[in-house]
Amino acid sequence: MRRVAITGLGAVTPIGLDARSTWESAVAGRSGVGFIEAFDASGFPVRIAAEVKGFDPGSVAPPKEVRRMERNVLFAVAAAQQAWAEAAIEDVDPARVGVVVGSAIGGLPGIADQHGVLLERGADRVSPFFLPSVLVDTASGQIAIQLGLRGPNYAPVSACATGSTAVGEAAEIVRRGAADVVLAGGTESCIHPLVLAGFCAMRGLVAEEVDPTLASRPFDATRAGFVMGEGACILVLEDIDAARARGATIYAEVLGYGASNDAHHLAQPDPESTGVAEMMRSALERAGVAKERVGYINAHGTSTPQGDLAETRAIKQVFGDHAYRLAVSSTKSVTGHCFGAAGAIEAMMCALALHHGILPPTINYRTPDPELDLDYVPNESRALELDVALSNAMGLGGHNGCVLLGRAPS
């Protein structure tokens, strides 16, 4: 079986318009959370989100094509273009290059907007580009079209674990030789009145009326809910021997992938954390990696009271005493929760932590919770040479996915 390397990174996030700026902001602890600018949220109980700022759709495609793409698709194509350019793979058969890019919510904003057109202006005014533009697999399809890639192409959906699922499944495609290279990741842009109203009704969001940058505070005793985010992240995965042969920069090696389901509740985590623990154990076992080698976990860490507690319990179940010797941080403290893109963004954070020997912090950690007693890398980044890092993701419907990464071999 092949070994799998990460050789290209692309990102469009609330804290940066590429992988480098996103990483630098995360390490510096710069929050991307603010008051919503996409629409007037004054009538909502929550008025904050982590929006992508300064994104130029014209950098992705000509104006005519841009008008036919949803915002989440534009993000994905931009991130894919970045990652593909950085990987600089030449003389590759396009039929041997795949795309696995998913989304949790996909084109729901476009669906809502066109439904409004139907009600207000009639059926003959609905756009002929409506349906092709809002499907969950539109992003993966557009990436293939823009880059001319004809290999395996699909869009996994596992709620907020989608990005992790995409990276893990893409690594399996390369590992078994079904493709030589795969672009993998997730994308999301759902900061829309209907989606905001839905999450407000679920009472999952945190409200902050003074300083939005303080709202997302994973693992803190005062945590009160998550912050909606948006963005995309794409990783280029390829056979590690081919990457070495052409002298590519290898950010990390994909060692393993674990997935599970809580089989408990559509919206609430299992308080026993059984599924999350099984997910991490599966990744370690499939990779043949001893738990003591893991030095860092980029946690799902959404800043919800139940979710952060369940994840901490799962880490303790899997790692035992070693849980107190590894570092755990949540970069959702700066990016908010980017839903289908989150797992890919956080896998990228792990790859860069391994590459640079730096851990991004959990910002806004002020009040320890007695039940959450691990090392959450509070408020300041930390230099630490790592061997293995783990990226966790958990989603509505009980979906869980994690990616286990190792330091690039010398």
What does each C-alpha distance from 377 to 42, 329, 341, 345 come to in angstroms?
A: 35, 6, 23, 18
The Cα 77–Cα 143 span in angstroms is 5
Q: Which of 160, 190, 338, 402 is catalytic?
A: 160
Q: What phi and psi, each to the nearest 5 degrees, are found at residue 15?
A: -120, 10
The Cα 65–Cα 70 span in angstroms is 10
Q: Which residues contact 13 (CB under 8 A, 6 or more apart)?
A: 22, 32, 52, 229, 231, 232, 233, 335, 338, 341, 345
Strands 327-329, 294-298: pairing is: parallel
Q: Supply 24's token pair.
A: 């630098």
User: 262 near 18, Cβ under 8 Å?
Assistant: no
In 3D, which of 155, 152, 153 has the Cα closest to residue 179?
152
Known catalytic residue at 233: no
Q: Which residues contact 328 (CB under 8 A, 6 or more apart)?
A: 219, 296, 297, 299, 301, 312, 315, 362, 374, 375, 376, 377
DSSP for residue 205: B
Task: Decide: helix, strand or coil at residue 12.
Answer: strand
The residue behind tokens 């476009």 is 110
In 3D, which of 351, 347, 359 has the Cα closest to residue 392?
347
Q: Supply 115's token pair.
A: 């439904």
Task: Decide: helix, strand or coil at residue 264.
Answer: coil
The Cα 355–Cα 174 span in angstroms is 21
**Cα Rg, the chain, nearest whole Å:** 20
Catalytic positions are 160
